[in-house]
Amino acid sequence: GQNIDQPTEMTATEGAIVQINCTYQTSGFNGLFWYQQHAGEAPTFLSYNVLDGLEEKGRFSSFLSRSKGYSYLLLKELQMKDSASYLCAVITGFQKLVFGTGTRLLVSP
Partner 1 sequence: DAGVIQSPRHEVTEMGQEVTLRCKPISGHNSLFWYRQTMMRGLELLIYFNNNVPIDDSGMPEDRFSAKMPNASFSTLKIQPSEPRDSAVYFCASSFVTGDQPQHFGDGTRLSIL
Do residues 104 and 7 make contact, with C-beta atoms less than 8 angstroms apart? no
Q: Are strands 9-13 and 3-5 parallel, antiparallel or unpaired?
A: unpaired
- For the purposes of burial, counting CB atoms within 10 Å of the CB of 55, is it exposed (0-12), middle (13-18) or buried (19 or more)? middle
- The CB-of-44 to partner 1 minimum distance in angstroms stands at 7
| Contact status: 44 vs partner 1 (CB under 8 A) | yes
Among 42, 53, 58, 81, indicate the residue that binds partner 1 (CB under 8 A).
Answer: 42
Helix (H, G, I), strand (E, B) or coil at 15: coil
Among 18, 20, 36, 43, indicate the residue that binds partner 1 (CB under 8 A).
Answer: 43
State the binding string over 11-40 for partner 1 (x if CB under 8 A, else -).
Answer: -------------------xx-x-------
Instruction: List CB contacts of 58: < 8 A, sequence separation 6 or more.
Output: none
- The CB-of-43 to partner 1 minimum distance in angstroms stands at 5
| Contact status: 94 vs partner 1 (CB under 8 A) | yes
Q: Are strands 53-57 and 60-65 parallel, antiparallel or unpaired?
A: antiparallel
| Contact status: 72 vs partner 1 (CB under 8 A) | no
- The CB-of-41 to partner 1 minimum distance in angstroms stands at 7
